[in-house]
C-alpha cells in the first residue's frame, strides 16, 4: 500500500531538511492520494519541476513507491514553471505543490527509469 500523500510530503521535507535544503508545502492537496509536484528553485531565476511519473512505469496496478519525471531536461525560467503549475492545479485541484531551494538542484526524488 502506498503512503498517503501527506505522510510522503512530510517525510520528503524532513529528508530535505537533513540535507540542509529548505523546503515547504506551497499547496496542500488531497491527504490520501493527491498527486505531488516538486519544484526545485535554483535561486537564479530558474527552476526544475518534477511531476508524478505516468502509471505505465510501474510494474503492477497498485504501486507502492512514488516515482517522478522531470518536466524538462534543463532548468526553465521560474515563470514558465509557475504557468505549468497553474495548469496542473486547474486540471487536478487535489494536487500538492512542494518547493525546495538548492543552488545545486538536488531533489532527493526517485526518478522513473526511461
Q: What is the pTM of this model?
A: 0.91
Span 89-101, pLDDT tens digits? 999 999 999 999 9
pLDDT of residue 70 exceeding 60, the answer is yes
SS3 sequence of the chain: CCCCHHHHHHHHHHHHHHCCCEEEEEECCCCCCCCEEEEEECCCCEEEEEEECCHHHCCCCCCCCCCEEECCCCCEEHHHHHHHHHHHHHHCCCCEEEEEECCCCCCCCCECCC
Q: Is 24 left (phi over 0), alpha (psi -120 to 50) or beta?
A: beta
Per-residue confidence (pLDDT) for residue 53, from 0 to 100: 87
What percentage of the chain has pLDDT greater than the value 90? 76
For domain 5-101, which architecture applies?
A: 3-Layer(aba) Sandwich (3.40)
Residue 3: per-residue pLDDT? 81
Domain spans in the chain, listed from the N-terminal domain onward: 5-101
47-51 mean pLDDT:
98
Amino acid at each position: 500500500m502506498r503512503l498517503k500523500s501527506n505522510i510522503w510530503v512530510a517525510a520528503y521535507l524532513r529528508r530535505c531538511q537533513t540535507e540542509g535544503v529548505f523546503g515547504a508545502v506551497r499547496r496542500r492537496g488531497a491527504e490520501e492520494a493527491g498527486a505531488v509536484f516538486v519544484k526545485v528553485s535554483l535561486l537564479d531565476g530558474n527552476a526544475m519541476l518534477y511531476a508524478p511519473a505516468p502509471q505505465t512505469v510501474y510494474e503492477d496496478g497498485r504501486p507502492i513507491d512514488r516515482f517522478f519525471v522531470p518536466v524538462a531536461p534543463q532548468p526553465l525560467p521560474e515563470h514558465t514553471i509557475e504557468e505549468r503549475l497553474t495548469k496542473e492545479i486547474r486540471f487536478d485541484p487535489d494536487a500538492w505543490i512542494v518547493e525546495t531551494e538548492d543552488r545545486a538542484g538536488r531533489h532527493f526524488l526517485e526518478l522513473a527509469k526511461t
